[in-house]
Amino acid sequence: MKVKIKTKGLEPGKRLDLKKVDTWSLWDGNTLLEEKVPIPDAGLGLDHYKCIANDEDTVSVVRFADLHRHSDNSLRDGILKVPDMVKHTEYAGALTDHGNLYGFVEYYNAMKGAGKKPIIGMEAYQENLRGELSGNHLILLAKNDVGYKNLIKLSSESFEHFYRKPHVTWEMLKQYHEGIICTTACLGGLIPKSFANGDRESAYYAAKQLLKIFGEDFYIEIQRHGIKDEELVNPQLLGLAQELNIPIVATTDSHYLRKEDAYAHEVMMCLKQDLTIDMPHRRYEGTGYHLHSSEEMEKLFSDLPEALDNTLRIADKCDVTVKMGDVNLPNYEIPAPFATPLEYFKHICKTGFDKRFQGRPEHEDPVYLERYDYEMSVIEKMGFETYFLIVWDFINYARSVSVYIGPGRGSAAGSLLAFCMGITDMDPIRFNLLFERFLNPERVSWPD
Ligand SMILES: [Zn+2]
Ligand SMILES: [Zn+2]
């Protein structure tokens, strides 16, 4: 359903204030169904809607924000390109790729650029109640900047609990839950799966655990893909939600853009399983893994309006600002007795210089000494000492475990200090290589 409304100064992205509405008309696609002046009451539930477009005094509204969507960063699973996802988002939407955040920068920037609200999320793989890495799905959405950082932590640490997929553990969820909204995911989620297996007790136990961790930011997800198990599971999910007083939320597990992309998706699923399309293969049961419009979702969930309203509530809750363009180097811990990274860096360089040149004419050669001081002053001025220490550290480590390291590639070979530190293995002065190609204060760009 689309509603067009004539109003006094409504703002896109804000909830509809019925008192401000002059006239409204109800449309089904392009057909005008009804027109009224002024708006009679909230009987239609119009106050639940969200304004999404504003051409002077006309506002279109939707009743759904899409919170569970896979792009082609859900490797060998989704085929939806991020730009297509953004283009077809009505007002707000989440990116929830399987077990990773690979697409979020592209997604965040594109959504912001399109004036839409990006929600950063992930469909994590979760360990089961016995602590086995059994690949249960769980949707995690960043609610605020703290949640965004925690989501990054969860994503990174999940790779330390890797069994076929990166997993989040219960411990990790307890540690990094702040600022994160959690929903129970598809039939692959721990709770739906437990219900499908007839293990009601585990479903309730898991729900109580997640409720304890996420509190009011925990939601029971309801999907309707026409899968047989959904008929069995959904009523139990609704019962659990009611019994434990957990809000429900409507989602659709989109993996491709249009309905007709189902075949292309099936071809890719065959590639994943090393099968051809003509061989018997496991098809995705059910339908509707395309990106749904608000209208489609309203029809699909007309009997559960609160599940739609909660999508907007969640979208309202989420507000993350990602600063782009900054370089965030890891914190490099320096050993005692050095007080600053610069002090330690100077020490490593000096020791390295002596090691390379002690007892040779270069050790006293003004060309070398001046070049040494010059590079040191540039690095100090540009604040790159931590960068050097980090590179030095991983190069050293690689050498210590017999990983091949070249003598230095690209412009880095032009640095005498990199040579002193053992990052590179050739003397730039001997080979007449320029330091400025590597670093120069006129153009601050990070070396690779
Ligand atoms: Zn899933
Ligand atoms: Zn999914």
Q: What confidence category does residue 18 fall into, taking pLDDT thresholds of 50, 70 and 90?
A: low
Convert the pLDDT of each residue in 47-83 to its tens digit: 667 766 556 555 667 889 999 999 999 999 999 999 9
Give the closest ligand to the alpha carbon of residue 187: 1
Convert the pLDDT of each residue in 271-287 to its tens digit: 988 899 888 877 778 88
* C-alpha to C-alpha distance for 335 and 328, rounded to whole angstroms: 21
Q: How many angstroms separate the alpha carbon of residue 175 from the centre of ligand 2?
A: 24
pLDDT of residue 17: 62
pLDDT of residue 53: 58
Please tell me whether residues 14 and 34 are part of one structural domain.
yes
Please tell me whether residues 36 and 95 are part of one structural domain.
no
pLDDT of residue 40: 44
Please tell me whether residues 240 and 177 are part of one structural domain.
yes
Locate 428 and state its tokens.
């730039």
Q: Which of these three, 317, 347, 379, is where a domain ends? A: 317
Give the closest ligand to the alpha carbon of residue 289: 2
Which H, E and C letters describe the chain, residue by residue? Answer: CEEEEEECCCCCCCECCHHHEEEEEEEECCEEEEEECCCCCHHHCHHHCEEEEEECCEEEEECCCECCECCCCCCCCCCCCHHHHHHCCCCEEEEEEECCCCCHHHHHHHHHHCCCEEEEEEEEEECCCCCCCCCEEEEEEECCHHHHHHHHHHHHHHCCCEECEEEECHHHHHHHCCCEEEECCCCCEHHHHHHHCCCHHHHHHHHHHHHHHHHHHEEEEECCCCCHHHHHHHHHHHHHHHHHCCCEEECCCECECCHHHHHHHHHHHHHHCCCCCCCCCCCCCCCCCECCCHHHHHHHCCCCHHHHHHHHHHHHHCCCCCCCCCCCCCCCCCCCCCCCHHHHHHHHHHHHHHHHHCCCHHHHCHHHHHHHHHHHHHHHHHCCHHHHHHHHHHHHHHHHCCCCCCCCCHHHHHCHHHHHHCCCCCCCCCCCCCCCCCCCCCCCCCCC
pLDDT of residue 409: 77
Q: How many angstroms separate the alpha carbon of residue 105 from the centre of ligand 1?
A: 22
Q: How many angstroms separate the alpha carbon of residue 68 from the centre of ligand 2?
A: 6
Give the closest ligand to the alpha carbon of residue 67: 2
269/32: higher pLDDT: 269
Please tell me whether residues 380 and 240 are part of one structural domain.
no
Which whole number is the average pLDDT over 5-23?
61
Q: How many angstroms separate the alpha carbon of residue 49 from the centre of ligand 2?
A: 25
Convert the pLDDT of each residue in 192-250 to its tens digit: 999 999 999 999 999 999 999 999 999 999 999 999 999 999 999 999 999 999 999 99
Q: How many angstroms separate the alpha carbon of residue 185 from the centre of ligand 1?
A: 5
Which whole number is the average pLDDT over 371-398?
93
3/269: higher pLDDT: 269
Percent of the chain residues past pLDDT 90, beyond the cut: 70
Lowest mean pLDDT among 12-26, 219-233, 319-333: 12-26
Give the closest ligand to the alpha carbon of residue 185: 1
Work out how many domains the chain is built from and give that number: 3
Give the closest ligand to the alpha carbon of residue 252: 2
Q: Which of these three, 283, 317, 351, is where a domain ends? A: 317
Q: What confidence category does residue 43 fall into, taking pLDDT thresholds of 50, 70 and 90?
A: very low
Residue 68 maps to a domain: no
Q: How many angstroms separate the alpha carbon of residue 99 from the centre of ligand 1?
A: 10
Q: How many angstroms separate the alpha carbon of residue 205 from the centre of ligand 2?
A: 23
Residue 70 maps to a domain: no
Which whole number is the average pLDDT over 302-324?
93
Please tell me whether residues 239 and 339 are part of one structural domain.
no
pLDDT of residue 28: 61
pLDDT of residue 311: 95
Q: How many angstroms separate the alpha carbon of residue 191 from the centre of ligand 2?
A: 14
Residue 37 clears pLDDT 70, i.e. is over it: no
Please tell me whether residues 125 and 264 are part of one structural domain.
yes
- CATH number reported for the structural domain that contains residue 202 in this entry: 3.20.20.140
Residue 30 maps to a domain: yes
Please tell me whether residues 266 and 229 are part of one structural domain.
yes
Residue 405 clears pLDDT 60, i.e. is over it: yes
Q: How many angstroms separate the alpha carbon of residue 79 from the centre of ligand 2?
A: 13
* Mean pLDDT of the chain, nearest integer: 89
Q: How many angstroms separate the alpha carbon of residue 392 from the centre of ligand 2?
A: 41
Please tell me whether residues 268 and 182 are part of one structural domain.
yes
Q: How many angstroms separate the alpha carbon of residue 278 from the centre of ligand 1?
A: 26
Q: How many angstroms separate the alpha carbon of residue 332 from the centre of ligand 1?
A: 38
Q: How many angstroms separate the alpha carbon of residue 249 from the centre of ligand 2?
A: 14
Residue 421 maps to a domain: yes
Q: How many angstroms separate the alpha carbon of residue 186 from the centre of ligand 1?
A: 4
Q: Which of these three, 272, 290, 317, is where a domain ends? A: 317
Residue 72 maps to a domain: no
* C-alpha to C-alpha distance for 380 and 392, rounded to whole angstroms: 16
Residue pointed to by tokens 């790729």: 97
289/43: higher pLDDT: 289
Beta strands at 165-168 and 162-163: parallel, antiparallel or unpaired: antiparallel
* C-alpha to C-alpha distance for 291 and 251, rounded to whole angstroms: 10
Q: How many angstroms separate the alpha carbon of residue 193 from the centre of ligand 1?
A: 11
Residue 77 maps to a domain: no
Please tell me whether residues 233 and 372 are part of one structural domain.
no
Q: Which of 410, 346, 339 is nearest to 373 (CA)?
A: 346
Residue 67 maps to a domain: no
Percent of the chain residues past pLDDT 70, beyond the cut: 87
Give the closest ligand to the alpha carbon of residue 69: 2
Give the closest ligand to the alpha carbon of residue 188: 1
Q: How many angstroms separate the alpha carbon of residue 90 from the centre of ligand 1?
A: 22
Which whole number is the average pLDDT over 22-39?
63
Give the closest ligand to the alpha carbon of residue 186: 1
Q: How many angstroms separate the alpha carbon of residue 265 from the centre of ligand 1?
A: 16
For CA atoms 27, 31, 32, 33, the dihedral sign is negative
| Omega of the bond leading into 337 within 30 degrees of 0 (cis) | yes
Q: How many angstroms separate the alpha carbon of residue 363 from the centre of ligand 1?
A: 63
Please tell me whether residues 230 and 373 are part of one structural domain.
no
Q: How many angstroms separate the alpha carbon of residue 351 from the centre of ligand 1?
A: 55
Please tell me whether residues 32 and 113 are part of one structural domain.
no
Q: What confidence category does residue 11 fall into, taking pLDDT thresholds of 50, 70 and 90?
A: low
* C-alpha to C-alpha distance for 418 and 428, rounded to whole angstroms: 10
Please tell me whether residues 312 and 204 are part of one structural domain.
yes
pLDDT of residue 14: 59
Locate 230 and state its tokens.
């959904």
Q: How many angstroms separate the alpha carbon of residue 166 from the centre of ligand 1?
A: 14
Q: How many angstroms separate the alpha carbon of residue 243 from the centre of ligand 1?
A: 24
Expressed as residue numbers, the domain containing 168 is 82-317
Residue 305 maps to a domain: yes
Q: Which of 68, 290, 77 is nearest to 165 (CA)?
A: 77
Residue 303 clears pLDDT 50, i.e. is over it: yes
